[in-house]
Amino acid sequence: MIKRLLRELYLLPRGEQRALLGVTLLLLLSLILRVVVQCLPGREPAGMEEFEQEAKAMMVAFARADTLQRLRTDSLRQAWDVPYDYAVPFAPPRNRGKPSQVVNINLADSSQLLPLPGIGPVFAGRIVKYRKLLGGFVHVDQLAEVYGMPMETVDLIRSRVYIDTSSIRMIRLDSATFRELLRHPYLEYEEVKALVQYREFTGRINSFSELQENHVLPDTTLDKLVGYFDLR
Protein backbone atom coordinates (compact mmCIF):
# COMPACT_ATOMS: atom_id res chain seq x y z
CA MET A 1 0.00 0.00 0.00
CA ILE A 2 2.89 2.33 0.82
CA LYS A 3 4.56 1.48 -2.48
CA ARG A 4 1.38 2.33 -4.34
CA LEU A 5 1.15 5.71 -2.59
CA LEU A 6 4.78 6.49 -3.37
CA ARG A 7 4.30 5.52 -7.03
CA GLU A 8 1.25 7.74 -7.35
CA LEU A 9 3.14 10.56 -5.65
CA TYR A 10 6.02 10.15 -8.06
CA LEU A 11 3.66 10.35 -11.04
CA LEU A 12 2.21 13.68 -9.84
CA PRO A 13 3.59 16.95 -11.20
CA ARG A 14 6.37 18.50 -9.12
CA GLY A 15 4.19 21.38 -7.89
CA GLU A 16 1.47 19.04 -6.59
CA GLN A 17 4.09 16.85 -4.94
CA ARG A 18 5.41 19.85 -2.97
CA ALA A 19 1.92 20.95 -1.95
CA LEU A 20 1.01 17.47 -0.73
CA LEU A 21 4.23 17.19 1.25
CA GLY A 22 3.63 20.60 2.81
CA VAL A 23 0.11 19.64 3.96
CA THR A 24 1.41 16.41 5.42
CA LEU A 25 4.12 18.23 7.38
CA LEU A 26 1.56 20.70 8.78
CA LEU A 27 -0.66 17.87 9.98
CA LEU A 28 2.29 16.17 11.67
CA LEU A 29 3.37 19.41 13.36
CA SER A 30 -0.14 20.11 14.72
CA LEU A 31 -0.35 16.59 16.10
CA ILE A 32 3.07 16.89 17.76
CA LEU A 33 2.13 20.29 19.22
CA ARG A 34 -1.07 18.93 20.77
CA VAL A 35 0.79 16.07 22.39
CA VAL A 36 3.44 18.44 23.78
CA VAL A 37 0.77 20.82 25.25
CA GLN A 38 -1.02 17.98 27.02
CA CYS A 39 2.25 16.79 28.54
CA LEU A 40 3.13 20.23 29.96
CA PRO A 41 2.28 20.84 33.69
CA GLY A 42 -1.02 22.71 34.22
CA ARG A 43 -0.85 26.41 35.06
CA GLU A 44 -3.80 28.25 36.60
CA PRO A 45 -4.33 31.94 35.85
CA ALA A 46 -3.72 34.47 38.60
CA GLY A 47 -6.57 34.80 41.07
CA MET A 48 -8.09 31.38 40.26
CA GLU A 49 -7.76 30.17 43.86
CA GLU A 50 -9.67 33.19 45.24
CA PHE A 51 -12.34 32.77 42.58
CA GLU A 52 -12.88 29.12 43.53
CA GLN A 53 -13.24 30.04 47.22
CA GLU A 54 -15.85 32.70 46.43
CA ALA A 55 -17.73 30.30 44.17
CA LYS A 56 -17.84 27.66 46.92
CA ALA A 57 -19.17 30.23 49.41
CA MET A 58 -21.92 31.26 46.99
CA MET A 59 -22.97 27.66 46.39
CA VAL A 60 -23.23 27.04 50.15
CA ALA A 61 -25.42 30.14 50.55
CA PHE A 62 -27.68 29.11 47.66
CA ALA A 63 -28.03 25.60 49.07
CA ARG A 64 -29.26 26.93 52.43
CA ALA A 65 -31.96 29.08 50.80
CA ASP A 66 -35.16 27.69 49.27
CA THR A 67 -34.71 29.83 46.18
CA LEU A 68 -32.56 32.74 45.03
CA GLN A 69 -35.52 35.06 45.63
CA ARG A 70 -35.99 33.74 49.18
CA LEU A 71 -32.32 34.39 49.85
CA ARG A 72 -32.78 37.97 48.72
CA THR A 73 -35.89 38.58 50.84
CA ASP A 74 -34.31 36.99 53.91
CA SER A 75 -31.44 39.46 53.73
CA LEU A 76 -33.86 42.36 53.32
CA ARG A 77 -35.93 41.14 56.24
CA GLN A 78 -32.88 41.06 58.49
CA ALA A 79 -31.92 44.57 57.39
CA TRP A 80 -35.37 46.13 57.94
CA ASP A 81 -36.55 43.96 60.85
CA VAL A 82 -40.09 43.63 59.45
CA PRO A 83 -41.97 40.49 58.35
CA TYR A 84 -42.62 40.09 54.66
CA ASP A 85 -45.45 38.82 52.53
CA TYR A 86 -44.34 36.13 50.04
CA ALA A 87 -46.52 37.72 47.44
CA VAL A 88 -44.34 40.87 47.69
CA PRO A 89 -40.76 39.56 47.73
CA PHE A 90 -39.30 43.06 47.37
CA ALA A 91 -40.49 46.28 48.98
CA PRO A 92 -38.71 49.54 49.79
CA PRO A 93 -37.94 50.22 53.48
CA ARG A 94 -40.44 52.44 55.22
CA ASN A 95 -39.47 55.75 56.71
CA ARG A 96 -39.36 55.20 60.46
CA GLY A 97 -38.84 58.85 61.19
CA LYS A 98 -42.48 59.79 60.53
CA PRO A 99 -45.32 58.74 62.86
CA SER A 100 -47.37 55.87 61.47
CA GLN A 101 -50.96 56.53 60.47
CA VAL A 102 -53.73 54.52 62.13
CA VAL A 103 -56.00 52.77 59.62
CA ASN A 104 -59.72 52.07 59.93
CA ILE A 105 -59.87 48.50 58.63
CA ASN A 106 -63.64 48.69 58.08
CA LEU A 107 -63.32 51.56 55.60
CA ALA A 108 -59.80 51.30 54.17
CA ASP A 109 -59.32 50.02 50.64
CA SER A 110 -56.53 47.64 49.68
CA SER A 111 -54.06 50.45 48.86
CA GLN A 112 -54.53 52.02 52.32
CA LEU A 113 -53.71 48.68 53.94
CA LEU A 114 -50.35 48.30 52.18
CA PRO A 115 -48.35 50.52 54.62
CA LEU A 116 -49.15 48.09 57.45
CA PRO A 117 -46.21 45.82 58.35
CA GLY A 118 -46.45 42.37 56.82
CA ILE A 119 -49.32 43.32 54.49
CA GLY A 120 -48.73 43.04 50.74
CA PRO A 121 -51.19 43.28 47.83
CA VAL A 122 -52.39 39.69 48.30
CA PHE A 123 -53.19 40.03 52.01
CA ALA A 124 -54.69 43.48 51.45
CA GLY A 125 -57.05 42.06 48.83
CA ARG A 126 -57.98 39.12 51.05
CA ILE A 127 -58.75 41.44 53.98
CA VAL A 128 -61.12 43.53 51.86
CA LYS A 129 -62.88 40.43 50.46
CA TYR A 130 -63.29 38.80 53.88
CA ARG A 131 -64.55 42.07 55.34
CA LYS A 132 -67.23 42.15 52.65
CA LEU A 133 -68.31 38.59 53.53
CA LEU A 134 -68.48 39.38 57.25
CA GLY A 135 -70.20 42.70 56.83
CA GLY A 136 -67.30 44.38 58.60
CA PHE A 137 -64.85 43.53 61.39
CA VAL A 138 -66.02 43.61 64.99
CA HIS A 139 -62.56 43.14 66.53
CA VAL A 140 -58.98 43.03 65.31
CA ASP A 141 -58.47 39.33 66.08
CA GLN A 142 -60.81 38.52 63.19
CA LEU A 143 -57.94 39.37 60.86
CA ALA A 144 -56.42 36.02 61.84
CA GLU A 145 -59.37 34.39 60.04
CA VAL A 146 -58.18 35.83 56.72
CA TYR A 147 -56.75 33.02 54.62
CA GLY A 148 -53.02 32.59 55.25
CA MET A 149 -52.77 35.44 57.77
CA PRO A 150 -50.42 34.50 60.66
CA MET A 151 -51.27 35.68 64.16
CA GLU A 152 -47.81 37.25 64.36
CA THR A 153 -48.79 39.68 61.61
CA VAL A 154 -52.06 40.51 63.40
CA ASP A 155 -50.10 41.33 66.55
CA LEU A 156 -47.77 43.59 64.56
CA ILE A 157 -50.56 45.69 63.06
CA ARG A 158 -52.79 45.68 66.15
CA SER A 159 -51.58 49.11 67.25
CA ARG A 160 -51.79 50.46 63.69
CA VAL A 161 -55.49 49.84 63.09
CA TYR A 162 -58.83 50.65 64.69
CA ILE A 163 -62.41 49.51 64.13
CA ASP A 164 -65.45 51.67 63.52
CA THR A 165 -68.43 49.41 64.26
CA SER A 166 -70.91 51.97 62.94
CA SER A 167 -70.21 50.67 59.44
CA ILE A 168 -71.04 47.03 60.31
CA ARG A 169 -73.67 45.48 58.01
CA MET A 170 -76.23 44.07 60.44
CA ILE A 171 -78.50 41.08 59.79
CA ARG A 172 -82.17 41.45 60.71
CA LEU A 173 -83.12 38.06 62.13
CA ASP A 174 -86.84 38.65 61.75
CA SER A 175 -86.61 39.28 57.99
CA ALA A 176 -83.33 37.87 56.66
CA THR A 177 -83.79 35.21 53.98
CA PHE A 178 -82.22 31.76 54.04
CA ARG A 179 -79.73 32.81 51.34
CA GLU A 180 -78.75 35.99 53.18
CA LEU A 181 -78.03 34.06 56.37
CA LEU A 182 -76.11 31.35 54.55
CA ARG A 183 -73.88 33.97 52.91
CA HIS A 184 -72.33 34.83 56.27
CA PRO A 185 -69.05 32.89 56.83
CA TYR A 186 -69.92 32.06 60.46
CA LEU A 187 -73.08 30.14 59.58
CA GLU A 188 -73.24 26.62 58.13
CA TYR A 189 -76.17 25.20 56.17
CA GLU A 190 -77.59 23.14 59.05
CA GLU A 191 -77.30 26.09 61.42
CA VAL A 192 -79.18 28.38 59.04
CA LYS A 193 -81.83 25.71 58.58
CA ALA A 194 -82.31 25.39 62.36
CA LEU A 195 -82.44 29.16 62.77
CA VAL A 196 -85.07 29.66 60.07
CA GLN A 197 -87.22 26.78 61.35
CA TYR A 198 -87.12 28.16 64.89
CA ARG A 199 -88.07 31.63 63.63
CA GLU A 200 -91.00 30.21 61.70
CA PHE A 201 -92.13 28.27 64.76
CA THR A 202 -91.91 31.14 67.25
CA GLY A 203 -92.69 33.98 64.88
CA ARG A 204 -89.95 36.19 66.28
CA ILE A 205 -86.53 35.87 67.93
CA ASN A 206 -86.21 38.25 70.84
CA SER A 207 -82.77 37.60 72.34
CA PHE A 208 -79.53 35.66 72.05
CA SER A 209 -80.29 33.92 75.34
CA GLU A 210 -83.42 32.52 73.73
CA LEU A 211 -81.34 30.94 70.98
CA GLN A 212 -78.89 29.64 73.57
CA GLU A 213 -81.48 28.16 75.90
CA ASN A 214 -83.24 26.36 73.05
CA HIS A 215 -79.95 25.14 71.56
CA VAL A 216 -80.75 26.64 68.17
CA LEU A 217 -77.11 27.51 67.53
CA PRO A 218 -73.86 26.42 69.22
CA ASP A 219 -72.49 28.81 71.83
CA THR A 220 -69.29 29.33 69.83
CA THR A 221 -71.31 30.42 66.79
CA LEU A 222 -73.52 32.72 68.85
CA ASP A 223 -70.46 34.40 70.38
CA LYS A 224 -69.16 35.21 66.89
CA LEU A 225 -72.51 36.53 65.65
CA VAL A 226 -73.32 38.87 68.54
CA GLY A 227 -72.00 41.86 66.63
CA TYR A 228 -73.89 41.02 63.42
CA PHE A 229 -77.46 40.07 64.46
CA ASP A 230 -80.02 42.85 64.82
CA LEU A 231 -82.83 41.72 67.14
CA ARG A 232 -84.75 45.00 67.18
Task: Determine, yes or no, domain membership for 84.
Answer: no
Q: What pLDDT, in 10s, does the model give residues 125-158?
A: 999 999 999 999 999 999 999 999 999 999 999 9
Q: Is the pLDDT of residue 115 over 90?
A: yes
Would you say 116 and 103 are in contact if contact means Cβ atoms under 8 Å apart? yes
Amino acid identity, position 180: E
Task: Determine, yes or no, domain membership for 202.
Answer: yes
Would you say 208 and 226 are in contact if contact means Cβ atoms under 8 Å apart? yes
Q: Which domain-ending residue is among 145, 167, 189?
A: 167
Would you say 124 and 110 are in contact if contact means Cβ atoms under 8 Å apart? yes
Would you say 205 and 198 are in contact if contact means Cβ atoms under 8 Å apart? yes
73, 139, 148, 163, 219 from 143: Cα distances, Å: 24, 8, 10, 12, 21
Q: Which domain-ending residue is among 112, 143, 167?
A: 167
φ and ψ at residue 137, rounded to 5 degrees = -90, 140
CATH number at 152 reads 1.10.150.320
Q: What pLDDT, in 10s, does the model give residues 37-51?
A: 566 655 544 555 655
Task: Determine, yes or no, domain membership for 135.
Answer: yes
Task: Determine, yes or no, domain membership for 200.
Answer: yes
Q: What pLDDT, in 10s, does the model give residues 158-208?
A: 999 999 888 899 999 888 999 999 999 999 999 999 999 999 999 888 888
> Up-side HSE of residue 230: CA atoms within 13 Å toward CB?
10
Q: What pLDDT, in 10s, does the model give residues 59-83?
A: 545 445 443 344 343 433 343 343 4
pLDDT of residue 77: 39
Helix, strand, or coil (residue 224): helix
- Reported in sequence order, the residue ranges of the chain that DSSP labels E, i.e. its strands, are 103-104, 161-162, 171-172, 229-230
Count of positions (residues) in the chain:
232
Q: Which domain-ending residue is among 120, 137, 167?
A: 167
pLDDT of residue 201: 92
Whole domain around residue 150: which residue ranges?
103-167
